[in-house]
Amino acid sequence: MSERIEIDKDAVRRDLMKLVLTIVELLRQLMERQAIRRVENCELTEEQEEDLGTALMLLSDAMDELTEQFGLTPADLNLDLGPLGPLLPRDR
Amino acid sequence: MITYLYAVGRDLERVPDVGSGGVGGGALRLVGEAGLQAVVSDVDREAFEDLDAHREDLAWLASVARAHHGVVEAVGRAHAVAPLALATVYLDDDRVRAVLRESHEAFTAVLDRVDGRDEWGVKAYVRPGAARAAAGERPSSGAAYLRARRDALRAGDAAVADAEREAEAVDAAVSALAVESRRHPPQDRSLTGRTEQMVLNGAYLVDRSAAAEVRALVEERSRTGSIDLELTGPWAPYSFAGGAA
């Protein structure tokens, strides 16, 4: 009996992690696109560009590590919004 | 009980041999009128009266679709056939006869059009990896990372645009071999079960004598092109029987 509760707990934890990571991934992609746009519009100094890029790169690495740790793939971090399509625009 | 109409033909002499029967296991019958024969079976009235209630019941829909498809394919193996839309039901056989009478011309036109021809489907997908090709070694700096990401995003957009262009060309080439063609809207990933984006969902009415050519064309384009093609068929002419009933 106690074993069964333990398994359910794991499933809940995994699903919650999946949801959290999905939202973080969405924000990360939005920030990345915003950063790229700002670079293209020459709104950033070289230093800002470097800092922003480094931060996003580290965040991307951290995401990869976390998804792997929880046995998820990038494709798992996508919510199907039905007629609106997938939450994350594309798988990249 | 009400009458479920599967398909209409004009030289059907016997009830098609389908092991599992029709929808809900009902026995198949032929209803003839004005030189046309409708393949029908009795179905439970309640189940079809409130179709909206079943719209979300995928298991039920799947069982109906399987039975429907099984009957249409069985008829289509030996005869020209005009398949009806899924879940076409009439109150009784008399109503079916009336439809055969009233839509005689439309059914005849469809049967003329599809006789000796099959429907083939061609689906095209963006080839996986096309968008990722730009991602190489780890960027050396934050700025380099942003540039790499920008290039990857652009390459991805370009890859989809290229794939769409190539799909248009495939559609045109297959259409040239077909008697008629239809473009269905590309299906969602949840339907295709593939992660790659679908860029073509075409249906083609092809003479049986040209089927090998279509197959060869699709194989050749799939090998030499940069999109993944999927050929399905031969199907009963589901996409080309519209407008009859």
Per-position pLDDT tens, chain B of length 245: 899 999 999 988 888 888 788 888 889 999 999 899 999 999 988 888 777 777 778 888 888 999 999 999 999 888 899 999 888 899 999 999 999 999 999 999 999 999 999 999 999 998 876 545 445 567 888 889 998 888 888 888 888 899 999 999 999 999 999 999 999 998 877 677 787 889 999 999 999 999 999 999 999 999 998 899 999 989 999 999 875 55
Q: Which residues contact B114 (CB under 8 A, 6 or more apart)?
A: B80, B81, B82, B205, B237, B240, B241
Cβ–Cβ under 8 Å, residues B240 and B205: yes
Q: Does A55 touch chain B (CB under 8 A)?
A: yes
Q: Does any domain span residue A13? A: yes
Kindly state whether residues B76 and B141 are assigned to the same domain.
Answer: no
Q: Which residues of B touch A90 (CB under 8 A)?
A: 131, 156, 197
Kindly state whether residues B125 and B110 are assigned to the same domain.
Answer: no
Residue with tokens 């995994």: A14
Cβ–Cβ under 8 Å, residues B4 and B40: yes
Q: Does any domain span residue B96? A: yes
Q: pLDDT digits over A26-54, tens only?
A: 888 889 989 999 998 988 899 999 999 99
Q: Does any domain span residue A23? A: yes
Given a cut of 80, is residue A6 above it in pLDDT? no
Distance (Å, whole) CA B229 – CA B219: 8
Average pLDDT over residues A56-61: 90
The CATH number of residue B180's host domain is 3.30.70
Q: CB B146 to CB A46 under 8 A?
A: no
Q: CB A36 to CB B188 under 8 A?
A: no
Q: CB A36 to CB B142 under 8 A?
A: no
Go through chain B and tell me how many residues it has: 245
CB pairs < 8 Å spanning A and B: 53
Q: Does any domain span residue A43? A: yes
Kindly state whether residues B201 and B213 are assigned to the same domain.
Answer: yes
Cα B49 to chain centroid distance, Å, stands at 25
Beta-sheet strand order (sheet of B198-207): B180-183, B198-207, B117-126, B227-235
Q: Does any domain span residue A52? A: yes
Distance (Å, whole) CA B18 – CA A1: 48
Q: Does any domain span residue B245? A: no
- Domains: count for chain B: 2
Q: Which residues of A touch B189 (CB under 8 A)?
A: 80, 86
Q: Does B58 touch chain A (CB under 8 A)?
A: no
Q: Does B156 touch chain A (CB under 8 A)?
A: yes
* Dihedral angle over CA of B148, B134, A26, A59, nearest 10: -50
Q: Does any domain span residue B64? A: yes
Q: Does A4 touch chain B (CB under 8 A)?
A: no
Kindly state whether residues B105 and B133 are assigned to the same domain.
Answer: no
Q: CB B142 to CB A52 under 8 A?
A: yes
Kindly state whether residues B178 and B197 are assigned to the same domain.
Answer: yes
Kindly state whether residues B121 and B236 are assigned to the same domain.
Answer: yes
Instruction: State the Rg of chain A over Cα.
Output: 17
Residue B153 token pair: 């995003």
Q: Does any domain span residue B175? A: yes
Q: Does any domain span residue A81? A: no
Go through chain A and tell me how many residues it has: 92
Q: Does any domain span residue B156? A: yes
Residue where one domain finishes, among candidates B114, B148, B181: B114
- Domains: count for chain A: 1
For A90, the closest of B146, B156, B188 (CB atoms) is: B156
Distance (Å, whole) CA A31 – CA A25: 10
Q: Does any domain span residue A57? A: yes
Q: CB B146 to CB A33 under 8 A?
A: no
DSSP H or E stretch at residue B203: strand B198-207
Sign for the CA dihedral angle at B147, B149, B151, B154 comes to negative
ipTM (interface predicted TM): 0.75
Q: Does any domain span residue A92? A: no
Given a cut of 70, is residue A84 above it in pLDDT? no
Residue where one domain finishes, among candidates B82, B114, B146: B114
The predicted pLDDT at position A91 comes to 46
Angstrom CA distances, A20 to A8, A16, A70, stand at 18, 6, 12
Residue A73 token pair: 């793939």
The parent domain of residue B69 ranges over 2-114
Q: Does any domain span residue A9? A: yes
The parent domain of residue A30 ranges over 2-68
Distance (Å, whole) CA A50 – CA B142: 5
Kindly state whether residues B146 and B125 are assigned to the same domain.
Answer: yes
Q: Does B141 touch chain A (CB under 8 A)?
A: yes
Residue where one domain finishes, among candidates B62, B85, B114: B114
Kindly state whether residues B126 and B102 are assigned to the same domain.
Answer: no
